[in-house]
Amino acid sequence: MNVIHNIMILRKNISEARELGKKIIFIPTMGALHSGHLSMVEAARKRGGDNEKNCIVLSIFVNPLQFGPNEDYQKYPRNLEQDSSLAAEAGVDILFAPPVMEMYPDGKSLTTVNVAELGDCLCGAKRPGHFRGVTTVVSKLFNIVQPDIAYFGQKDYQQYAIIRKMVEDLNFPVQLILAPTVRENDGLAKSSRNVYLDPQQRRQVAVISSSLREAAALIAKGEKNPAVLRDKVSRRITSESDGKIDYIEVRRADDLSSVETIDCGIVIAVAVNFGSTRLIDNVLVEV
């Protein structure tokens, strides 16, 4: 595996891979790699069988642009050495880990990319500017890496929906793949931020995924009222944990618009604060 910190060197390595007829598969991350990230490397490796030659590029960049002033940019876990060995073991070909000055030489970006509406609701309403930071850095990374295929995790479903819209609206020539959420044994979605939880919080947080599973089961039994589902999820989380609910929303899966009655594919998305740790999760339900 090549570890690259510089955009020009990365471009050179990627064009060499292309000349060998390889497809460029891209997995952007903020590092502190866990099995959620590594499951996408595994899926990328298994793509296309023996006929397809791939070059798997995984980026690690804690993007200052997507953190609010009171968020955890400074304390976000960083461990490039451990991440490098995990990525190499998993089968990554190129690890791209640029310093902030390589991505933002002026210390900021005067040019930004914003997806209206989809970026203003759910987490976007609570974290102003967050998704603009995400879509700006993902645009930059897409322009730098020029991938044929890029993987995003369902754990951050709103992020995926926004990037999908950006790719459509701005004609990025990339195919997006949504990877299923990888979970701990008790259902907690794997996240680099789970290390912030203290033991008591860690025991309680499983209620998030179990309440979402329960809501999905109610839909399967015929429940069509989003308010009933929101209420169920809310009651369970507040009665079984000290979590403070940030939002519980039932939205159309394709464009995140509100639904009055459940008659299409939906996502139930939640954000819950445990102390200063904000956890998100969601379930997709086909109807």
Looking at the annotation, which residues are catalytic? 37
Q: Which of 87, 97, 113, 189 binds ligand AMP (CB under 6 A)?
A: 189
Question: What tokens appear for 166 in the block?
Answer: 């950006």
Least distance to ligand AMP from the beta carbon of 205, Å? 13
> Pick from 192, 194, 209, 282: which binds ligand AMP (CB under 6 A)?
192
Q: Rounded to 5 degrees, what are φ and ψ at 152? A: -135, 150
User: Does residue 156 interact with ligand AMP by CB under 6 A?
Assistant: yes
Q: Give the span between the Cα atoms of 164 and 157, in whole angstroms.
A: 10
Exposure string (b/e) for 183-218, b if CB count within 10 Å is 16 or more?
Answer: bbeebbbbbbbbebbeeebbebbbbbbbbbeebbeb
| Of 46-54, 124-132, 188-196, 236-244: span binding ligand AMP (CB under 6 A) | 188-196
Question: Are 87 and 7 within 8 A, CB to CB?
Answer: no
Cβ 283 to ligand AMP shortest distance, Å: 13
The window from 17-25, 118-126, 181-189, 215-223 that contacts ligand AMP (CB under 6 A) reads 181-189
Position with the least CB separation from ligand AMP: 153
Q: How far apart are CA 65 and CA 3, in angstroms?
A: 23
CA distance 56 to 96: 11
Question: Interface with ligand AMP includes 190 (CB under 6 A)?
Answer: yes
Contact 285, 157 (CB under 8 A): no
The residue among 22 and 183 lying less far from ligand AMP, judged by its C-beta, is 183
| C-alpha distances in Å from residue 155, one per residue of 18, 89, 183 | 31, 23, 10
Window contacting ligand AMP (CB under 6 A); options: 67-75, 149-157, 231-239, 273-281: 149-157
Q: Which amino acid is at 71?
A: E
User: Rule CB under 6 A: is residue 153 a binding residue for ligand AMP?
Assistant: yes
Using the rule CB under 6 A, which residue among 25, 179, 279, 283 binds ligand AMP? 179
Q: Does 155 bind ligand AMP (CB under 6 A)?
A: yes
Out of 10, 17, 58, 182, point to the residue binding ligand AMP (CB under 6 A).
182
The shares of helix, strand and coil residues in the chain, as percent rounded to the nearest 5, are 45, 20, 35
From candidates 23, 37, 130, 230, binder to ligand AMP by CB under 6 A = 37
Number of residues that bind ligand AMP (CB under 6 A): 16
SS3 per-residue string spanning 241-278: CCCEEEEEEEEECCCCCECCCCCCCEEEEEEEEECCEE
Footprint of ligand AMP (CB under 6 A): 29-30, 36-37, 39, 152-153, 155-156, 179, 181-182, 189-192
